[in-house]
Amino acid sequence: MSDQSHDIDVLNDLIATTLDSADGYSDAADHAKNPMIADLFKQWAAERRQVVADLRIAVRDLGGQPEDDGTVLASAHRMFMDLRSSMSNDDRAVIDEVERGEDHIKDKYEHALGDEALGPQARAAVQGGAYLGARRS
């Protein structure tokens, strides 16, 4: 039998990372100069928020308390993105930062999927959100 506290910790880590990603996409949408890019980022932010909702359900089903906040690192990253965007006249700086964020979330989900101690219920929840980074890589 899997250790549910381990599963809860893994899922909560992904919740925080996915919240960071959703917030990052919302921020990127605010900084995008091209309305089509902004709309795409808003759509991706909404998708991330749905994955967060699904992961929170999985944590509750395991008897845990779901994470409700992102990470401090993401806040610093958004401040950096704000600075880079204000210094740029186009969307390239915003897109570059989004790509860096995509690499990070993809790594987090791949690491979780490679965790042999992860129980089947938690693994199913991780697989439900794993398409996030894979789709755009």
Residue 135 or 59, more confident: 59
pLDDT in tens, 22-79: 888 888 888 888 999 999 999 999 999 999 999 999 999 999 999 987 665 555 555 5
CA atoms within 13 Å, Cβ hemisphere of 7:
24
Q: Output the average pLDDT for the chain.
A: 82
CB-based contacts of 63, cutoff 8 Å, min separation 6:
4, 8
CA angle 35, 39, 42 (to 5 degrees): 140
pLDDT score recorded for residue 71: 60
